[in-house]
Structure 1
Amino acid sequence: PGYALNYFNVNDPVYNAMVEEVLATMDPAKRMEKYKEAAQYLLSQHWGMPFILQYKYNVWQPWVKSYYGGAVALSFCGVGDIFARLWIDQDLKAEMGY
């Protein structure tokens, strides 16, 4: 509990101890080994389904300017910085019949 990436809200004493051990291990090779052990334990408990990556497409109209395909849907960073810079080329939009 208390970790941003704890998507399944796991609060298991064994797993919590494993995570703390991973975080306390400074040697990269040992840390990775402990991380793998924690991941195997997490998966063996069936608390949730890991996220499955999927193809994503961003499409936009040619009259939408200052947009270059940045992620919008399900963005952890938010979309305010993207929307703040968009503008509509009204002349091009009218020229295209919209």
Structure 2
Amino acid sequence: MFGAFFIQMTFSAARGNAINNPSRVNAPIGSIPLIEEIFAEYNKNIFVNWPSAFREYKKLKPFLLEQAFVIPRPTPYTYSFWQPWLENYYGQGMPLIRYAWIDSALKESLGR
């Protein structure tokens, strides 16, 4: 999961000459202003405000799909579950779990 997340996080499939960008979308970087505007806003929020960063990415996704730069393959469903007392975790995979913390008061109030 982290591989796909990293591709999204760096926009490497939609910016410049990258191995994940075989269609050469937005190459050279800046040739599609919409992608650059959203990327700039996304970069302000990544690692600071995850929900806002993901909202920015979601704004771009319809544009990328409409342009059909790449025809996405279907992927199997994946699910992430975590306890409600695990804070600052949004299901993004194990490498980023180190930024999460446990709300001990909430954990105790739930009888855990």
TM range (shorter): 0.3 to 0.5
Bigger Rg over Cα: 1
Q: Normalized per residue, which structure has more helix?
A: 2
